[in-house]
Each structure stands twice: as C-alpha cells, then as structure tokens.
Amino acid sequence: MKDSSAPLILASASPRRQEILEAHGFSPVVIPSDVEEVLPEGELFTPEQTTIYLAELKAESVLDSLDPGAWPDGCRILGVDTIVFKDRIIGKPVDESDALEILRSLKNDSHEVISGVCLIHAEPPRALSKQVFSDTTTVRFGDYSDEEILAYIRANPPYDKSGSYAIQSDWGRHVLSVDGDIENVIGLPFLKLSEYI
C-alpha cells in the first residue's frame, strides 16, 4: 500500500500543500477539486468530523473525474481540509474587516488548527481502499495591535487562509507556542500522513 513510486494526485490548488509534499520527496499531480464545501443539512459535525467529511468530498470528487482506463496502477488521491477552531470554526476571511476581527479574536490565547485527510488508493478497475484521519495542532498567539494586524494583512493578503494568517510568514513572530505538527498549521499534517503514504 505504501508504494512511494505510485502516482500521487493532490485534490487541492493549495501551493502550500504542494510545497510540503515536494519538500518530503513527492511530486504530486495537482487536480483541484471543484466541489462546493458544504455539510449535509440537519447533521451535526464536530470540527474533526467536518474536516474529514470535506477531505473525503474533495478526494472522491477528483476520483470520480478520472478516466478509469487512464489510471496508473496504484494511483493515490489525497484530499485535505484545514480549519481554525476557537469556540467556533473560523474559515477564510471574506474581506479586510473580517480578517481584522479574526486575528483580534486569536490574540493572547490558544486556538486549534485541525486538518482532515482522505487518502484513496486506487487500483484498476476501481478496487479501492481509503484511509481517513484528522490531526490537531494547538497554536498560542501573544499580544499585537490592530495596526500590526492591518499592516500584515495588507502586505500578505489572507483571503485563502483559514484563520487569516500563515504561520510561516512574518506573522510567526506573534506565535508563542506550537503543540503538534507545524506543517499541519501550514496546511498538511505530513507527520501523521507519512504513516499512510
């Protein structure tokens, strides 16, 4: 199952996830999923269940879009969803005001970064196995001003980032501690993924 030579399809347009995989020796084929990231109506999900559900949705969407006859043996499809959680699920900011409010809410406190992962191993003709899991990293921020937030988000547009920040950017100076896999905060919990991939 862990054939590192088998093609790996990343069901995400995130350059950060691609960079993490490449840093660990993988050359993913990027096929972004175009599914609408919504949960089923009437069902209650924990934050972890939310990320796993959406990761499965993305991976299965890309799987369904592939031509079965064109699959290389052992093809793998990787779907990932990452959220920030502090009292509620915090998504990507919609505008500057939203980003300001999000980063205000995270200062002088801890929050969780939760990723759900779905890894589908595919063998022709559509013999499948699937692993799903979530991983959580706790991040603690120190103090900072509104002026520092605005300077950061204007220099580093955060509109594709859950929680409105990138820990690997100069925002990292506000991080007091990271408990868990820092690559999970960047967008892909590779430490745990490496057990499956």
Spatial CA neighbour of 123 closest among 68, 178, 185, 80: 68
Active site residue 81: yes
CATH topology of domain 8-193: Maf protein (3.90.950)
* Amino acid 118: pLDDT: 97
* Amino acid 4: pLDDT: 54
Report the C-alpha gap between 70 and 185 in whole angstroms. 34
**pLDDT (tens place) for every residue of the chain, 197 residues total:** 444 567 899 999 999 999 999 999 999 999 999 888 787 777 789 999 999 999 999 999 998 888 766 666 678 999 999 999 999 999 899 999 999 999 999 999 999 999 999 999 876 655 678 999 999 999 999 999 999 999 999 999 999 999 999 999 999 999 999 999 999 999 999 999 999 88
CA–CA distances in Å: residue 100 to residues 88, 125, 150, 153, 157:
17, 50, 7, 8, 12
* Amino acid 16: pLDDT: 94
Question: From the candidates 3, 34, 73, 81, which is the catalytic residue?
Answer: 81
What is the chain's length? 197
pTM of the model: 0.91
